């Protein structure tokens, strides 16, 4: 590949980009194993697609925020490196597809010109931190969570404690008890609370831990009903340390936080978290929310360009369903429905320029794949609608039953079983043509995923679908698993949808028609859908939909998935949501050496807590290499530490005064002082050198 260099204002980012280019070159030359390289590129937001030879790039937008300049920059980058499409995700990211691996360093450098990162957007890291899109303008919020979400994002970006965990970590900040960021389904979730102490208002958070969707959904545990705001980041750090040390690493299907909490029990998990506090970089992390920069507002006396509204009736529906008055009483905010989360770079630039005079320089990507425009003067709402109408993005019914959330499915994802985008389009058509009044219904949510992993959040939908397959007459056909009854209760309480029945995918529209007609006919006055579901019970809906499962009436089209021309066949690739376990001894020793080098850099820069954690990682990676050399495989860092004592120290293979466990776990027995950091680093360096000598000696004996 051609060497690429850039001069960026941020030397940390520049070092990252140059390192990425170097690793790509070494991978191309065959000097880095493919599985190891996969882990490295994922942590840089570079994700393999279903189509070979190209990458999906995930752009990390903390709490979904884009300035207008960033939106334009992403559009320009998509044109130059991708296909000119921006895909908005349920994690408030933006993804672009079909990117050449060799061009990713240059792509990253172009994004950084407007302070946009792809670092840790994928892989076994702290993923994008999401938040209620209304944060800062929510009439129900006790305070704006944006500064706290932002501080959390910045604190854990490049933090050594979360660079190579057993699995990914997802966090959310809700703006109020309405819990619109779904704290109950995250590894960690925070809901703002206020208490009065000695006549003073004290900010804090209700903190939840261990939630998750996927094939086995779990609702999160309440860790703190009220944790003072300055204690939030130290608590998160302690949790991540426990997850890194005790979390599963061999089986990715059991490696999420929810499984560790289940395995240990929440009481023991909490005890281990408390043990880690002494090792934390900080014991208190106050955030000066009052110093948070003001939003750049549109000029109060701006003169807008001339405009016309083509459909006045649609404008009234749009205003009723997509706009709301902010807690700042003089302003409105307006949502933009983005079908399937896809918006072109051309339309994006058109919107940026046309909207600039009328909206704040703070656009939020929403968790249902739309956009939120803020600080619109009431008199400017018609103009904003006209701009959206001209661009083809003025449909009413944001976050209604008509606004379906769907992952990309088989369009690009390796794990997808059947199409989610095709069925989503078909279901939206059913609502538009047969149930048009439901555009005002924001009670019922429809969410679709291409597989059981719930990237489309089907597990918390009122009506959810995930891709599957069925067999009939020796042939395979695309299918949909139907789930009902999921959603938000509030204040950290959620509902996981029930798996009710599986039907051929082409019958998805009939499923929706049947459910909605039954609800319209039999629901009591003002009875919400989930209330109706609870009253009737799962068996009622199974019987209601059972006729649609009859495989004796299949037609040829039932064997072709939505939007496809060929007969259906399951073609699931290797998922890349986490790195694969590396069992090459030399590679692990090399990683140990890299951790040691990172530790030295951190000490030189007086970042003692970071240096200590790099030293800890050196111990673990090096011990793992030696154990694998003896044929011993471990699935947790704790297991590695214990097994090293068992197979090396206790057998006399490794002379050590005391146990390896005692040596390594000094990390959570000491404050991160300069003296301990330097002493611990030297012990790790000595251990690595001894390991290198041990391996060389073993190789020499084998050669004889």
The residue ranges of DSSP E strands in 210-322, in sequence order, are: 221-228
Helix residue ranges per DSSP H, 250-311: 257-264, 266-276
Model confidence at 569: pLDDT above 70: no
Residues 470/445, Cβ–Cβ less than 8 Å? no
pLDDT 10s digits, 624-634: 999 988 888 88
In this predicted structure, what is the pLDDT of residue 410?
72
pLDDT at 419: 79
Q: Is the pLDDT of residue 580 over 50?
A: no
The pLDDT assigned to 696 comes to: 79
CATH class name, domain 312-391: alpha beta
Average pLDDT over residues 613-636: 92
pTM of the model: 0.92
* Token pair for 262: 């289940």
Tell whether the model's pLDDT for residue 388 goes beyond 60. Answer: yes
Fold of 11-112: Sulfite Reductase Hemoprotein; domain 2 (3.90.480)
Strand order through the sheet with 332-336: 65-66, 363-365, 371-376, 332-336, 323-325
Average pLDDT rounded to a whole number, residues 322-349: 96
Range with the lowest mean pLDDT among 59-63, 422-426, 574-578?
A: 574-578
For the record, the structure tokens of 14 come out as 């520049």
User: Quick check: 421 and 406 in contact, CB under 8 A?
Assistant: yes
Please give the pLDDT value at position 701.
Answer: 58
Looking at residue 251, its pLDDT comes to 84
Task: For the chain, give the mean pLDDT.
Answer: 92
Question: How far is residue 314's CA from residue 320's CA, in Å, rounded to a whole number?
Answer: 10
For the ranges 39-43, 181-185, 565-569, the one whose mean pLDDT is highest: 181-185
* pLDDT reported for residue 570: 62
- The reported pLDDT for the residue numbered 567 is 67
Distance separating alpha carbons of residues 201 and 194, to the nearest angstrom: 7
Report the C-alpha gap between 74 and 685 in whole angstroms: 43
- pLDDT above 60: residue 573: no
Give the model's pLDDT for residue 582.
36
Q: Is the dihedral of CA 649, 652, 658, 663 positive or negative?
A: negative
Do the first three CATH levels of 130-291 and 405-559 match, i.e. the same topology?
Answer: yes
**What is the CATH topology of the domain spanning 130-291?**
Sulfite Reductase Hemoprotein; domain 1 (3.30.413)
Q: Is the pLDDT of residue 576 over 60?
A: no
pLDDT tens, position by position, 192-206: 999 999 999 999 999
| Distance separating alpha carbons of residues 371 and 65, to the nearest angstrom | 10
Please give the pLDDT value at position 1: 45
- Please tell me the CATH code under which domain 405-559 is placed: 3.30.413.10
How much of the chain, in percent, has pLDDT values that exceed 90? 78
Helix (H, G, I), strand (E, B) or coil at 600: helix
Structure tokens at 454: 């719930």
Strand 493-495 and strand 130-131: the pairing is: unpaired
Q: List pLDDT tens digits, range 584-594.
A: 577 778 788 88
Q: Can you give the residue ranges of every domain in the chain? A: 11-112, 130-291, 312-391, 405-559, 585-703
Determine the Cα–Cα distance for residues 300 and 293; give it in Å rounded to an integer.
19
Stretch among 28-32, 108-112, 412-416 having the lowest mean pLDDT: 412-416
pLDDT greater than 50 at residue 539: yes
585-703 in CATH: which number?
1.20.120.330
Q: How confident is the model at residue 581 (pLDDT cuts 50, 70, 90)?
A: very low
Token pair for 482 = 């139907």
DSSP 203-261: EEEEEEES-B-TTS-BPPEEEEEEEEGGGHHHHHHHHHHHHHHHS--S-GGG-SHHHHH
Closest C-alpha among 330, 166, 314 to residue 240: 166
pLDDT tier at 502, thresholds 50, 70, 90: very high
| Residues 6+ positions from 253 with CB-CB distance below 8 Å | 215
């Amino acid at each position: 590949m051609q060497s690429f260099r850039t001069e960026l204002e941020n030397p940390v980012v520049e070092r990252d980009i140059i390192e990425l280019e170097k690793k790509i070159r070494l991978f191309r030359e065959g000097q880095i194993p493919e599985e190891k390289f996969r882990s490295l590129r994922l942590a840089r937001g570079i994700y393999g697609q279903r189509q070979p030879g190209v990458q999906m790039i995930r752009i990390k937008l903390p709490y979904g925020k884009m300035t207008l300049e960033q939106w334009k920059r992403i559009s320009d980058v998509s044109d130059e490196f991708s296909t000119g499409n921006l895909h908005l995700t349920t994690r408030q990211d933006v993804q672009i597809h079909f990117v050449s691996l060799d061009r990713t360093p240059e792509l990253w450098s172009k994004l950084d010109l407007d302070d946009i990162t792809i670092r840790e957007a994928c892989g076994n890291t702290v993923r994008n931190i999401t938040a209620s899109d209304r944060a800062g303008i929510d009439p129900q919020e006790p305070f704006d969570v944006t500064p706290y979400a932002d501080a959390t994002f910045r604190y854990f970006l490049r933090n050594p404690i979360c660079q190579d965990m057993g699995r990914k970590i997802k966090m959310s900040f809700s703006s109020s008890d309405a819990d619109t960021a779904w704290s109950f389904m995250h590894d960690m979730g925070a809901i703002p609370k206020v208490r009065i102490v000695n006549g003073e208002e004290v900010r804090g958070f209700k903190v939840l831990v261990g939630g998750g969707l996927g094939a086995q959904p779990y609702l999160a545990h309440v860790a703190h009903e009220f944790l003072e705001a300055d204690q939030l980041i130290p608590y998160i750090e302690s949790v991540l340390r426990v997850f890194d040390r005790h979390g599963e690493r061999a089986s990715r299907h059991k490696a999420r936080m929810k499984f560790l909490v289940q395995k240990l029990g929440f009481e023991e998990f909490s005890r281990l978290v408390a043990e880690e506090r002494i090792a934390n970089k900080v014991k208190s992390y106050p955030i000066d929310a009052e110093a948070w920069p003001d939003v750049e507002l549109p000029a109060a006396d701006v003169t807008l360009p001339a405009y016309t509204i083509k459909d006045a009736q649609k404008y009234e529906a749009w205003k009723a369903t997509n706009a709301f008055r902010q807690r700042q009483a003089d302003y409105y905010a307006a949502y933009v429905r983005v079908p399937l989360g896809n918006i072109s770079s051309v339309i994006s630039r058109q919107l940026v320029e046309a909207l600039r005079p009328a909206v704040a320089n703070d656009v939020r990507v929403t968790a249902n794949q739309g956009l939120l425009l803020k600080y619109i003067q009431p008199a400017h709402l018609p103009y904003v609608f006209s701009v959206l109408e001209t661009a083809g993005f003025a449909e009413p019914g944001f976050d209604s039953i008509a606004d379906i959330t769907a992952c990309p499915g088989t369009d690009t994802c390796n794990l997808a079983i059947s199409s989610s985008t095709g069925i989503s389009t078909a279901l939206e058509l059913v609502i538009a043509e047969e149930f048009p009044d439901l555009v005002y219904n924001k009670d019922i949510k429809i969410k679709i995923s291409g597989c059981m992993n719930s990237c489309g959040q089907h597990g918390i939908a009122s009506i959810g679908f995930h891709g599957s397959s069925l067999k009939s007459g020796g042939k395979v056909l695309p299918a949909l698993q139907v789930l009902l009854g999921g959603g938000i209760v509030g204040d950290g309480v959620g509902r996981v949808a029930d798996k009710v029945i599986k039907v051929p995918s082409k019958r998805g529209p009939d499923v929706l028609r049947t459910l909605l007609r039954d609800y319209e006919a039999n629901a009591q006055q003002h009875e919400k859908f989930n209330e109706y579901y609870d009253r009737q019970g799962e068996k009622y809906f199974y019987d209601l939909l059972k006729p649609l499962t009859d495989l004796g009436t299949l037609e040829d089209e039932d064997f072709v998935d939505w939007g496809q021309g060929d007969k259906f066949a399951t073609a699931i690739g290797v998922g890349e949501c986490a790195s694969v376990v590396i069992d090459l001894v030399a590679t692990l020793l090399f990683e140990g050496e890299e951790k040691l080098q990172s530790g030295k850099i951190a000490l030189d820069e007086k970042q003692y807590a970071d240096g200590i954690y790099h030293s800890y990682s050196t111990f673990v990676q090096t011990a793992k290499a030696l154990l694998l050399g003896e044929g011993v495989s471990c699935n947790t860092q704790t297991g590695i530490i214990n097994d090293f004592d068992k197979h090396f120290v206790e057998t006399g293979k490794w002379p050590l005064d005391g146990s390896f466990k005692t040596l390594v776990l000094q990390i959570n027995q000491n404050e991160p002082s300069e003296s301990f950091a330097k002493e611990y680093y030297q012990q790790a360096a000595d251990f690595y050198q001894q390991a290198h000598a041990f391996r060389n000696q073993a190789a020499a004996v084998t050669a004889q």
